[in-house]
Amino acid sequence: MYDVMLADAEFPAQHDLPLIDMTVADVLRNAAARAADAPALTEIALSGDAKRSWTYGELLADVERLARALSTRYAPLERIVVWAPNAPEWVLLEYACALAGLTLVPANPAFQARELAYVMKQSKAAGLFFTREHRGNPMAEIAAEAAAGAPALREVCDIEDADALFACGGRPETPHAASPSDEAQLQYTSGTTGFPKGARLHHMGLVTNATHFMQRTGLSDGDVIANYMPLFHTSGCCMRVLGSAAYRGHLLLFRVFDPDAILDQIERHQIGLLSGVPTMLTAILEAQAARSRDVSSLRVAVSGGSMVTPEFVRRIRSTFGCRFQVIYGQTEASPLIAQHHLDDDPETVAETVGQPMPHEEVSIRRVADGSVAALDEVGEICVRGYCVMLGYNDDPEATAKAIDADGWLHTGDLGTMDARGYLRVTGRLKEMIIRGGENLFPAEIEKCLLEHPAVAEVAVVGLPDEKWGEIIAAVVRPAPGSKANIAELQAHCRARLAPVKTPSVWLRVDSFPRTGLGKVQKFALRDAWLAGNLEEL
């Protein structure tokens, strides 16, 4: 823990760890130079069994061969879209793009033609690398349809066709030494409030962020890391892939998220780090309860992306016998902004999202005038430092709104900071509900409702109202076998919150509309209610 005592809600950058002035390719080269024969990457197939494996020396050799091939097909600084599930070739392309001086553009394999065409057109991608099918999604057919809407596209390549992937083109090999400050990835944001924007992320931001994340989890050289987070998101392709290589770790790459396969590999490989959004960890808890595995190797569990409750933290700690950390970030910050320390007490872990990461200044700013907020006062969470994106692709207006003249990235998240510099997230600025002139924060109400045993999941949204401007609606997915009673839930809220925070509209769903990383799309819930497509609880 950083030993600070703040006077207001502005946390100065800490310099206990070095900035990593490297490119993505440098991370792999360093790992291969130091541990060429160590296991680097193992593919975990749909069956849950291990398939292909690479040592660091073998991985670098394949990456260099692929980079040479790409350099004969693409000019330096061109962009290629990778639209595939968690396949080893995805990782090869990530490193090879960095080595060839290309920008990687990840795309969600669940995309349909309209979404894929948007990403390719907006990024001006020259190439599309895909798998032919994933979970019933006919990706080869969709790729052909979407390609027609991307005028800059020259090549469509099946990444699991080795001859096509490693084919050489007609260009002379053009060595391009990327700089750590150069664009490495164009990451399209998860779209919880609408269609995504492309965040231009640089090498040093991704490499440093991933390395610091793994250091704070207590990772040691050569540890085994399970990666079932989607590679199209920074949590998978950056935090796990690059973080693992920074410590010469052995990365187990799961094609899909399968709780039983994950638990089996924890037992088999003595994995020390368990990570995922709360819905993933809940599924792993349930699988462990159904069939117990030896999980004594687990040292720490890490979660983020949505609310965790004190009861959830207790379940993780008691079931797996490990410590628990919460992380907080966003794509535009490469992505991590805050994380707990291993020695943080359970109450701090349950109530906050940790302290800022090294070399990052974090402040809470008043929405009205941008001034620094007082301790424990709600405002917008802002971050400044090496981690901030280069900007939004071809969108200077959106970039100027996100990054102010002093270099502060405005996250759009609302939160507070205490005297120790620990952050709490209270909601999204765009999700803040203004009822009769009073600002209300969905996260606080959601956390209260999640403590009720009849509630499995909940999303609190603001609905338009003639009298109040907005009113509070709670959209509930009831816990299996339970009957969520409105009067009981109202009483539960009234006993714990001010009356004005109690929802006046109660709705139920069997499942929530989500982004590719599992975040609830609240704008879709609001639209569904306006269209009359949600039923009362």
Per-residue pLDDT tens over the stretch 489-510: 999 998 888 788 999 999 999 9
Q: For residue 112, name the pLDDT band (cuts at 50, 70, 90).
A: confident
> Which pLDDT tens digit goes with each residue over 285-325?
999 999 999 999 999 999 987 767 788 899 999 999 999 99
Of 186, 203, 220, which marks where a domain is finished? 203
- Residue 190 pLDDT: 59
CB 502 within 8 A of CB 494: yes
Q: Which residue has the tokens 């004005």?
A: 500
Residue 194, pLDDT score: 52
The CATH number assigned to the domain holding 125 equals 3.40.50.980
Q: Does residue 451 lie within any of the structural domains?
A: yes
Using pLDDT thresholds of 50, 70 and 90, give the confidence band for residue 196: confident
84, 159 Cβ separation under 8 angstroms: yes
- pLDDT per position as a tens digit, 69-87: 999 999 999 999 999 999 9
Name the phi and psi angles at 13, rounded to 5.
-65, 140
Query: In the predicted model, is pLDDT for residue 369 greater than 90?
Result: yes
Cα dihedral 181/185/186/188 (nearest 10) = -130
Query: Facing residues of 469 across strands?
Result: 465
User: Residue 517: its pLDDT value, please?
Assistant: 63
Average pLDDT over residues 81-103: 97
How many Å apart are CA 131 and CA 109, to the nearest integer?
Answer: 9
Of 146, 171, 203, at which residue does a domain stop? 203
Task: Assess if residue 331 is contained within a domain.
Answer: no
**368 is a domain residue:** no
| Whole-number pLDDT of residue 516 | 67
- Is residue 284 classed as helix, strand or coil in its secondary structure? helix
- State the average pLDDT over residues 414-443: 86
CA distance 509 to 484: 12
Report if residue 377 sits inside a domain: no
Q: What is the mean pLDDT of the chain?
A: 93
Instruction: Provide the pLDDT for residue 450.
Output: 92
Helix (H, G, I), strand (E, B) or coil at 492: helix
Q: Is residue 509 part of a domain?
A: yes
Q: What is the pTM of this model?
A: 0.85
If one counts the domains in the chain, the total is 2
Percent of the chain with pLDDT over 70: 98
* CATH code for the domain in which residue 456 is found: 3.30.300.30
Residue 474 is part of which domain span?
Answer: 432-536
Q: Is residue 493 part of a domain?
A: yes
For residues 243-255, average pLDDT: 97
For residue 85, what are its two tokens?
Answer: 């599930």
Distance CA 311, CA 298 (A): 19
Residue 272 pLDDT level (bands cut at 50, 70, 90): very high
Contact present, 295 and 321 (Cβ < 8 Å)? yes
Least confident of 271-275, 317-321, 345-349: 345-349
Per-residue pLDDT band for 514 (boundaries 50, 70, 90) equals confident
DSSP string, 57-87: HHHHHHHHHHHHHHHTTS-TT-EEEEE-SS-
Among 176, 203, 230, residue at a domain's last position = 203
Window from 105-114, 263-272, 371-380, 386-395 with minimum mean pLDDT: 105-114
Q: Whose structure tokens read 């693409």?
A: 74
Q: How far is CA 97 from the centre of its chain?
A: 21
In the predicted model, what is the mean pLDDT of residues 359-387? 96
3-class SS letters over 380-420 = EEEEEECCCCCEECCCHHHHHHHECCCCCEEEEEEEEECCC
Looking at the domain assignment, is residue 117 inside a domain?
A: yes
Q: Dump pLDDT digits (tens) for 149-191.
A: 899 999 999 999 999 999 999 999 877 889 999 999 999 985 5
Q: What is the pLDDT of residue 193?
A: 46
User: Phi and psi of 102, rounded to 5°?
Assistant: -100, 160
**pLDDT average, residue stretch 365-390:** 96
Q: Is residue 166 part of a domain?
A: yes
Cα–Cα dist 27/21, whole Å? 10
